Amino acid sequence: MPWRPMVPQDLDWVQELADAIHPDHPEGMDVFAERLRLYPQGCHVLGAGRSLMGYAITHPWHLGKPPALNSRLGEIPGDASTYYIHDVALLPEARGKRYASQAVEELALHARAVGLGNLSLIAVNRSQIFWEKLGFQAMTGPGLDGKHLSYGSDAVLMMRDLTKAKD
C-alpha cells in the first residue's frame, strides 16, 4: 500500500481517520484543509479512496516553536528552521509494517531538498520511544518549556538532525 499525495477529496477521510486515531487530540477540518492548501507537498495519505489507512501532514516551520494543536498557521514562514511533522497517523491495522518509517525517510529527503537540516515533531500518546528509534531526540533547553502543552501532559518536543549520518 503506497503513500501518495493528499488531494482535497481526501479531507473527509483524513478527518475521519484523525477522529478515530487521535480522539484525545481533536483537530478541525479547517486545520487539515489549510495545511493542504499552504503546503500540499507535505501532505500525504496511505491507501486509496475508502481504503485510507493513514495520513502524514508536514511543513516547514520554526524549530522549538510548534504550532498549538488545532490551530491554523496563516502562512508557511519564509525563514523556517525545521521541517515540522504535524502528524503521521496510522490505523492500528497499518502499524508495524514500516509505513511510518517509510514516510519519515521520504520526509527527511524532502526536508534536505528544501534546505532544512532537521525534522521536528511533538510525540504524543507515549510514542517517544518509537520516534527515538527513527533518530529523534527530545529537545530541552531554555524557552522550550510549555511550547507543546496543547498536545497533553505526555507530549515531548523532539528533533532529528539531518546533517549527521543516521546511527
What ranges do the domains of the chain cover? 3-161
Q: How many Å separate Cα 97 from the centre of its chain?
A: 18
Q: Output the pLDDT for position 69.
A: 86
Q: Give dist(CA 66, CA 88) in Å, integer.
A: 15
- For 115-135, write each residue's pLDDT tens digit: 999 999 999 888 899 999 999
What is the per-residue pLDDT across 139-164, written as a single tens digit (0 to 9) for each?
876 555 555 666 777 788 999 999 98
CATH number, span 3-161: 3.40.630.30
Q: Please give the model's pTM, rounded to 2 decimal places.
A: 0.91
Q: Given CA atoms 111, 113, 116, 117 in this order, what sign does their dihedral have? A: positive
Q: Which residue is associated with the grid cell 495519505?
A: 45
